[in-house]
């Protein structure tokens, strides 16, 4: 065992640390050396999106001390940037995870001790509502305590800027510097004095009212909902914080036949009914699919623990429930929104140009649809904060209609600057009602899109390699693809190779930040991208397959999948 690691661990037995933490550190010192190493071999990195890690004692774990030090660093940076204000305002919310309520209170109290006015949600609230609250209350920043869709042993901390989006350059790197400057818990303002106390304002249903009222203005087919209000819908929050907002949004739209998966409406950081609370995973949707079969529902919707991502299932031509992937969901909703905007005469705006946004690993079918409707589109790096950056840059000049990324994230309109499952669920159900008016279904609409624009198949392969050795393996795989790129995707030669870390690219007009992403485009239009995850010990391969008429889609997909498989 590295002596440095032991000394760092022993420092956590000193003054300032609570007895529960000290007991856990003693257990680690006396127990498995590998567990001790993982807890203390580095400081939990405050990345460009914030913190995310396994909960427990140690400088490489999520706990009150790593959360406190991160918050103090963030507060110091906010004070530098907004020193001209009499008082800085921030919003704080949290999800259902173990310790989320505790961590959010710690965050709020440290902000308060730094002289900030804090809007803290009384109870757990979705990430998109936190994004909304920042702009709604005129805040300069915000924090959402969540680990999104990660397993139950994780928690996290998303940092937001005054535009309601997660922080981007240069603020992300500058905040990291401020956080790294907090090297000891004694630098954190843990204790509020008489002058700062009283600056935490609890917010609840009044924020929900405003949020849902504004989202209601984004609907485009209210008459279809009235005609088909009894559309059969099943929704599950997967134990997360969509439990109140999403059903209420559907009710207020006018849907009257909504069924909830009651066992999964119980908020719990243990996620007792699922192996992983991730709507991208088919197993997470099982209980909702089973309920839909029992009640004969036409559409199934799920949101993840912090209710920014959502999963969708619809009936196919044989009346079987089929799970949509994130690309299919995004393409259906993009087509639906643009078609309805065209029918409503909203695309002809002489003062502001309408536009959509996708990420570089999301299906190019989204941009093909935008071209068809003569709507401008942007292609940005992975992460919804990059979509939000374009929205912010276009304020006053353009009208953001919608945008999304393949990882089950979509948003409509400018009220929320992050993925937004309440509006996504609402709109997919509204789209289903609209489809009924046109004697089709959501699945039928997707097939007609393929017929018009060409058949696609999009999928993701993730490989998990935890720990120190895992990071080295992931780095090695990326470097191998960087220095020895493939010459073909399947039988089609590669005509473009992009290394987003080495070269500058534009989206268009907006310069993309450097990012460790490799992307290969074949002559037939198929695109393969790979990147190491920024929040999990994973490397991800994104496949966007374009097929010509008569090609065997599944055979072509299997061959390409095998070509890029990691043993």
Contact 292, 321 (CB under 8 A): yes
Residue 322 burial by CB count (10 A; 0-12/13-18/19+): exposed, middle or buried? middle
Contact 171, 48 (CB under 8 A): no
Residue 419 DSSP code: -
Q: What is the 3-state secondary structure (H, E, C) of 130-153?
A: HHHHHHHCCCCEEEEECCCCCCCC
CA distances from 232 to 250, 283, 307, 315, 337 (A): 12, 22, 21, 11, 22
With H, G, I as helix, E, B as strand and everything else as coil, classify residue 506: strand
DSSP string, 31-63: S-HHHHHHHHSSPPP-BTTEEEEEBSSSTTSBS
Contact 487, 521 (CB under 8 A): no
Contact 291, 264 (CB under 8 A): no
Alpha-carbon span 547 to 360, nearest angstrom: 19
Alpha-carbon span 277 to 283, nearest angstrom: 9
How long a stretch of residues is the chain?
567
Residue 142 burial by CB count (10 A; 0-12/13-18/19+): exposed, middle or buried? buried
| Closest listed residue to residue 133, CA positions, set 153, 119, 113 | 119
Alpha-carbon span 92 to 99, nearest angstrom: 14
Report the 10 Å Cβ neighbour count for 230.
Answer: 10
Alpha-carbon span 104 to 71, nearest angstrom: 10
Given 131, 148, 221, 363, the catalytic residue: 148
Sign of CA dihedral 425, 428, 430, 432: negative
Could you report how far apart the first and last alpha carbons of the chain are, in Å? 30
With H, G, I as helix, E, B as strand and everything else as coil, classify residue 389: helix
Contact 299, 255 (CB under 8 A): no
| Closest listed residue to residue 456, CA positions, set 354, 359, 326, 357 | 326
Whether 221 sits among the annotated catalytic residues: the reply is no
| Closest listed residue to residue 418, CA positions, set 220, 206, 236, 164 | 164
Backbone angles phi, psi at 375, to 5 degrees: -110, 135
Alpha-carbon span 145 to 535, nearest angstrom: 14
Active centre residues (catalytic): 148
């Amino acid at each position: 065992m590295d002596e440095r690691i032991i000394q760092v661990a022993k420092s956590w037995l000193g003054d300032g640390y609570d007895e529960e933490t000290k007991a856990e550190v003693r257990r680690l010192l006396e127990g498995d050396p590998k567990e001790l190493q993982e807890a203390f071999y580095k400081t939990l990195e405050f990345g460009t999106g914030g913190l995310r890690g396994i909960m427990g004692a140690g400088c490489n774990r999520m706990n009150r001390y790593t959360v406190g030090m991160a918050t103090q660093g963030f507060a110091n940076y906010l004070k530098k940037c907004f020193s001209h204000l009499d008082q800085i305002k921030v919003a704080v919310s949290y999800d259902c995870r173990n310790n989320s309520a505790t961590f959010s209170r710690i965050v709020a109290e440290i902000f308060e001790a730094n002289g900030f006015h804090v809007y803290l949600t009384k109870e757990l609230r979705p990430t998109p509502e936190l994004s909304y609250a920042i702009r709604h209350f005129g805040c300069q920043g915000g924090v959402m305590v969540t680990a999104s869709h990660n397993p139950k042993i994780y928690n996290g901390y998303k940092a937001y800027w005054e535009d309601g989006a997660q922080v981007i350059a240069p603020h992300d790197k500058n905040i990291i510097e401020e956080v790294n400057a907090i090297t000891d818990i004694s630098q954190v303002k843990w204790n509020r004095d008489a002058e700062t106390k009283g600056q935490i304002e609890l917010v609840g249903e009044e924020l929900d009212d405003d949020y849902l009222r504004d989202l209601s203005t984004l609907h485009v087919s209210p008459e279809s909902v009235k005609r088909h209000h009894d559309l059969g819908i099943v929704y599950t929050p997967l134990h997360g914080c969509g439990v109140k907002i999403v059903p209420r949004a559907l009710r207020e739209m006018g849907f009257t036949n909504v069924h909830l998966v009651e066992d999964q409406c119980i908020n719990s950081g243990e996620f007792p009914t699922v192996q992983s609370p991730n709507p991208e995973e088919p197993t997470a949707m099982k209980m909702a699919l089973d309920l839909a079969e029992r009640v004969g529902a036409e559409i199934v919707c799920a949101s993840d623990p912090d209710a920014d991502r959502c999963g969708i299932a619809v009936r196919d031509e044989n009346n079987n429930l089929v799970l949509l992937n994130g690309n299919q969901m995004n393409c259906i909703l993009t087509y639906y929104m643009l078609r309805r905007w065209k029918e409503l005469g909203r695309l002809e705006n002489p003062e502001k140009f309408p536009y959509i946004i996708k990420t570089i690993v999301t299906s190019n079918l989204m941009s093909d649809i935008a071209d068809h409707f003569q709507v401008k589109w942007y292609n940005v790096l992975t992460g919804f904060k990059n979509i939000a950056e374009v929205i912010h840059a276009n304020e006053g000049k353009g009208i953001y209609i919608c945008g999304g990324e393949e990882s089950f994230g979509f948003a409509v309109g400018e009220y929320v600057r992050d993925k937004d499952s309440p509006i996504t669920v609402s709109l997919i159900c509204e789209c289903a009602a609209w489809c009924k008016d046109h004697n089709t279904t959501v699945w039928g609409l997707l097939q007609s899109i393929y017929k018009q624009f060409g058949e696609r198949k999009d999928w993701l392969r993730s490989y998990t390699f935890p720990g120190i050795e895992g990071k080295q393996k992931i780095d090695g795989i990326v470097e191998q693809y960087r220095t020895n790129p493939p010459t073909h995707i399947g039988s089609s030669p590669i005509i473009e190779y992009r290394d987003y870390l080495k070269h500058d690219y534009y989206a268009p007009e907006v310069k993309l930040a450097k990012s460790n992403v490799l992307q290969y485009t074949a002559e037939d239009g198929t695109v393969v991208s790979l990147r190491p995850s920024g929040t999990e010990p994973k490397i991800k391969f994104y496949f966007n397959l374009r097929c010509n008429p008569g090609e065997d889609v599944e055979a072509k997909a299997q061959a390409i999948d095998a070509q890029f498989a990691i043993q």
